[in-house]
Amino acid sequence: SRRALMGAVAAIGLVAGMVPALAADPIKLRISTPAVDSDWHAKMLPVFKQELEKSAPGQFDVEIHLNGTLFKQGTEPAAMQRGNLEMAMISAFDIAKQVPEWSIFTAGYLIRDPEHQAKVFDGEIGREMYKLVEDKMGIKILSVGYLGTREVNLRTDKEIKTPADLAGVKLRMPGSDTWLFLGKALGANPLPLAFGEIYTALQTGAIDGQDNPLPTVRATKFYEVTKQIVMTDHLVDSIFLALAGSSWNKLDDKQKTAVMNAAKAAVKFNNDNRIKEEGELQAFFKSQGLKVYKPDLDAFRTHVQKAYLDSEWSKTWPKGMVDRINATK
**In angstroms, how far is the first alpha carbon of the chain from the final one?**
75
Q: How far is the CB of 153 from ligand KDO (least distance, A)?
A: 10
Q: How far is the CB of 198 from ligand KDO (least distance, A)?
A: 7
Residue 187 vs 215, nearer CB to ligand KDO = 215
181 binds ligand KDO (CB under 6 A): no
Q: Tell me, what DSSP letter sits at residue 123?
A: S
DSSP string, 214-247: HHHHHHTTGGGG--EEEEEEEEEEEEEEEEEHHH
Q: How far is the CB of 211 from ligand KDO (least distance, A)?
A: 7
Q: How far is the CB of 89 from ligand KDO (least distance, A)?
A: 6
Site size with ligand KDO, rule: CB under 6 A: 11
Q: How far is the CB of 66 from ligand KDO (least distance, A)?
A: 9
d(Cα 235, Cα 211) in Å, to the nearest integer? 10
Residues linked to residue 213 through DSSP beta bridges, in sequence order: 150
Residue 39 vs 278, nearer CB to ligand KDO = 39
d(Cα 275, Cα 181) in Å, to the nearest integer? 27
Q: How far is the CB of 126 from ligand KDO (least distance, A)?
A: 18
C-beta nearest to ligand KDO: residue:
91
Q: How far is the CB of 195 from ligand KDO (least distance, A)?
A: 4
Helices (H), the chain: 2-18, 40-55, 76-81, 92-96, 114-122, 124-137, 177-185, 198-204, 214-219, 245-248, 253-287, 297-309, 321-327
| Window 40-69: contact mask with ligand KDO (x via CB under 6 A) | -x----------------------------
Using CB under 6 A, pick the residue from 121, 195, 222, 308 that binds ligand KDO: 195
Q: How far is the CB of 71 from ligand KDO (least distance, A)?
A: 11
261 binds ligand KDO (CB under 6 A): no
Selection from 110, 143, 130, 324 nearest residue 237 by Cα = 110
Q: How far is the CB of 35 from ligand KDO (least distance, A)?
A: 4
For residue 228, give Cα distances in angstroms to 52, 214, 232, 290, 292. 41, 12, 12, 5, 6
Residue 230 vs 258, nearer CB to ligand KDO = 230
**Residues with Cβ within 8 Å of residue 34, at least 6 apart in sequence:** 66, 67, 68, 72, 73, 194, 195, 196
Binding to ligand KDO in span 3-42, by CB under 6 A: 33-35, 39, 41
At 79, give phi and psi (nearest 5°): -65, -40
Residue 51 vs 237, nearer CB to ligand KDO = 237
| Window 198-227: contact mask with ligand KDO (x via CB under 6 A) | --------------x---x-----------
| Window 69-98: contact mask with ligand KDO (x via CB under 6 A) | ----x-----------------x-------
Residue 39 vs 86, nearer CB to ligand KDO = 39
**Residues with Cβ within 8 Å of residue 56, at least 6 apart in sequence:** 254, 255, 258
d(Cα 296, Cα 298) in Å, to the nearest integer? 6
List of residues contacting ligand KDO (CB under 6 A)? 33-35, 39, 41, 73, 91, 174, 195, 212, 216
